[in-house]
Amino acid sequence: MTILEGKVALVTGASSGIGRATAKVMAAHGAKVVVAARREPELASLVDEIRSAGGEAALIRTDVTQEAEVKAMVEFAVSEFGRLDCAANNAGGGVPSNADWPEADPEAFLKTMDLNTTSTWYCMKYEIAQMLKQGGGSIVNTSSIAGLRAGTGEAYASGKYAVNGLTAVGAAKYGTQGIRVNAVAPGIIEAGGWAKRFSEDPALNTTWNEAIPAGRTGRPEEVGEAIAWLASDASSYVTGVVLPVDGGNVITINRPDSLA
């Protein structure tokens, strides 16, 4: 089912992991996709993959912590495909940490907040401006289950809680102008840092499998499908939601918090 047929989509953090999977899923659902990230060679290979599968895609190297580059990114999407119907603000990062707070590095805290929160604010600023010109659109931010419960480092968790706040305010403020804003909160996904940790310690994956109600960790494509649905007209009466995509991890009490 091509739920994004005829739509123009923008995906940040698209060079790897959830972002890369999301771009491929959205293209498979019929969207013309603009992919953005800092690593241009990875973006180029992604564009080649999408085009080889019969989709349309374009790339722009972007550091989403830089406002001017975010502005240029949105302008590029519009110049390339004529409009911007949906955006997946996926770029982010920072390793969850249980380090003692009094010993935490202020510079690392601010960098993590910039990467997760300030970048989302920049993206929403220019995406909303474009969508207001068009009469509507759909934005999906990538949060985390770290933004739904305590259990990780204060920098990463605070950044993701803030993404939830931006999502709620954007939805409330622009709903009557045709703009929906939602977020996904991925759980333990076999991508990025988690994939590396599981590769180094296979027993860790087993531990998480036993703690998650679904009995397994997730795949990046599963997050991509949730993002595509929220971005599409199929979810037309859904806004302001932070949707966990976590196999039930956030609701269970037998999670290995010491490993978060």
Residues carrying an active site annotation:
156
CB atoms < 10 A from the CB of 160, how many?
28
Which residues have a Cβ under 8 Å from the Cβ of 185 and sit 6 or more positions away?
143, 144, 145, 147, 148, 160, 164, 242, 243, 244, 245, 246, 250
Neighbouring residues of 41: CB distance < 8 A, sequence distance ≥ 6: none
* Beta-bridge partner residues of 87: 10, 139
Residues 6+ apart with CB under 8 A from 75: none
Distance in angstroms (rounded) separating the CA atoms of residues 91 and 117: 10
For residues 251 and 198, what is the distance between their CA atoms, to the nearest angstrom? Answer: 23
**Alpha-carbon distances of 220 from 1, 67, 163, 204, 253, rounded to whole Å:** 19, 27, 20, 18, 24
Percentage helix, strand, coil for the chain under 3-state DSSP, each rounded to 5: 55, 15, 30
